[in-house]
A and B are shown apart, each in its own frame.
Chain A
């Protein structure tokens, strides 16, 4: 096994362990780590949406970006660059978020949910793979968002600077920042544990290039299973951890922060998968790249923040199934969310078709 294989498997195991630890320390069940959910919570904390159960400034996001930045600086891999279709990337970030929040989780949480026995996420995994397959077809046909160019070094610190401000606002808790009193936003580990988990995963994800979408993409494109090892390592670690702790619930019954809307979970994650391929990586990878100084990924993250706000303000986000006093209330993807997914798919098709390039790569 070469060194890079150790890194990606190690990063996967560490991410799985961090997810288990963070859940044990207070994060919502099967949501030790969820990039889409945590960015949505930050959007809520800023008052960009008013869903009062999902508002909190998640230190995991801060840790991921700062961990990646520290690893990139230490490894001489910090490179400030930008200019690869930033406006399109902003829109793609929004679209990926609409798809992920319809399902109730990013690709990372999808794996964590599966590791907890949440079989309602199987349709999402199939959709995610299908979306990646469609994205790969366009990559093969010449899809590209163009080159990025060196930028001023200070530009590379845009997202790290932003997340430091997020942390400062969390710790000082001024009146204009919103904090959920109930619901997933109110469930969180102590901030230092969350920050530490984020830092650890951020460092390892930068070193290993861990990417949920990249794992399947590279298998489809190059028959390369390297990144998929990280994906599988997360799943097995979470699965084993849940089995050992007696938390493995393999069924289709009411699962934590999940719903039974299989068709729209499939389509939502197809949207997230296809969008992630066009972006060059999943939401986690966008945070890591932004920590490495990539301004285009920083713009993508701001697109995801905006997408989260829009998903809730326009009533597009999925809602979880609930069981209270023996009464089952079905959640699912509302009509606006279904329309959002269909519009998102149409936009992805448009972006894919209008960014095809036929030139010979050796010229």
Chain B
């Protein structure tokens, strides 16, 4: 899991990019608290063969689940 809360863009996407380039995980959970990061990570996921689902949590945070597309 990547905890990118408190980081503003592009840092959350850079963190996701590093994780994807390192292991190409089948799924990845990312925590962010910036709506801009939700959009940017979702776009990055779509451009790199992942589906992204975002869920709003308490305290203004968002949980994103990235799943590798077959």
Contacts A280-B8, A294-B8 given; does A77 touch B19 at CB 8 Å:
no
Contact between B14 and A224, CB atoms less than 8 A apart: no
Count of B interface residues, CB-CB < 8 Å: 29
Chain A proximity mask over B26-61: 1 for CB below 8 Å, otherwise 0: 001000011110010001100100000000000110
**Judging by beta carbons under 8 Å apart, are A209 and B36 in contact?**
yes
Q: Verify if A329 is at the interface (C-beta below 8 Å from B).
A: no
The verdict on A23 contacting chain B, using a C-beta distance below 8 Å, is no
User: A297 to B59, alpha carbons, bound, how many Å?
Assistant: 21
User: In whole angstroms, how far apart are the Cα atoms of A221 and B8 in the complex?
Assistant: 15
Give the residues in chain A near B34, CB-CB below 8 Å.
79
Q: A79-B33, A223-B47 are in contact. Are A4 and B39 (CB under 8 A)?
A: yes
A222 to B33 CA separation, bound complex (whole angstroms) = 21
| Residues 2-20 of B at the A interface (beta carbon under 8 Å) | 2, 4-11, 13-19
Question: Once the chains are docked, how many angstroms separate the CA of A81 from the CA of B30?
Answer: 20
Q: Known: A77-B35, A362-B1, A362-B2. Contact between A84 and B44, CB under 8 A?
A: no
CA–CA, A280 and B8, complex, Å: 7
B14 and A147 form a contact (CB under 8 A): no
The B contact surface, by secondary structure, is: helix
- B15 in contact with A361 (CB, 8 Å): yes
Q: How far is the CA of A4 from the CA of B2 in the complex (A)?
A: 24
Q: Decide: A144 and B6 in contact? CB cutoff 8 A.
A: no
A interface, how many residues as a size bin? 20 to 34
**List of B residues within 8 angstroms of A361 by Cβ:** 2, 4, 14-16, 18-19
A229 part of interface (Cβ distance < 8 Å): no
User: Which residue of A is nearest B23, CB measured?
Assistant: A362
Closest Cβ of chain B: how far from A223's Cβ, in Å? 7
A140→B4 CA distance, assembly (Å): 16
Interface of A is mostly: loop
The residues of A that contact B9 with a CB separation of less than 8 Å are 209, 214, 280-281
B60 lies within 8 A of A79 (CB): yes
- A280 contact from B4, B10, B15, B16, Cβ within 8 A: B10
B19:A214 contact, CB within 8 angstroms: no
Is A155 among interface residues, defined by CB-CB distance under 8 A? no
CB distance from A300 to the nearest CB of B (A): 11
Which residues of A are found within 8 Å of B28, using beta-carbon distances?
362
Which residue of B is nearest A206, CB measured?
B36
Residues of B within 8 Å of A83, CB to CB, are 6
Tell whether, in the assembled complex, residue A218 and residue B10 are in contact, meaning their CB atoms are under 8 Å apart. Answer: yes
CB distance from B52 to the nearest CB of A (A): 13
Chain B minimum-CB-distance residue to A79: B60
Say yes or no: A224 contacts B47, CB within 8 Å: yes
Whether, in the assembled complex, A289 has its beta carbon less than 8 Å from a beta carbon of chain B, the answer is: yes
Could you tell me the distance between the alpha carbons of A87 and B32 in the complex, rounded to whole angstroms?
Answer: 24
Looking at the assembled complex, report how far the CB atom of A276 sits from the nearest CB atom of chain B, in whole angstroms. 12
Which A residues are in CB contact (< 8 Å) with B44?
222, 224
Q: Is A222's CB under 8 angstroms from B7's CB?
A: no
A91 to chain B, nearest CB (A): 18
Asked if A289 contacts B2 (CB within 8 A), the reply is no
- Please name 14 further chain A to chain B contacts, defined as beta carbons within 8 Å, in addition to the given A223-B47, A360-B18, A361-B4, sorted by A numbering: A81-B6, A140-B14, A144-B11, A146-B6, A150-B59, A209-B36, A221-B13, A222-B44, A224-B43, A224-B44, A289-B8, A361-B14, A362-B1, A362-B15
Interfacial residues, chain B to chain A (CB-CB below 8 A): 1-2, 4-11, 13-19, 22, 28, 33-36, 39, 43-44, 47, 59-60
Can you identify 30 A-B contacts, CB atoms within 8 angstroms?
Answer: A75-B35, A77-B35, A79-B33, A79-B60, A81-B6, A84-B8, A140-B14, A146-B6, A147-B7, A148-B7, A148-B8, A149-B6, A150-B59, A209-B9, A209-B36, A209-B39, A217-B10, A218-B10, A222-B13, A222-B17, A222-B47, A223-B47, A224-B44, A224-B47, A280-B11, A360-B22, A361-B2, A361-B4, A362-B15, A362-B28
Q: What 8 A-B pairs come out closest when comparing CB atoms?
A: A147-B6, A361-B15, A362-B19, A148-B6, A77-B35, A280-B8, A361-B18, A361-B2
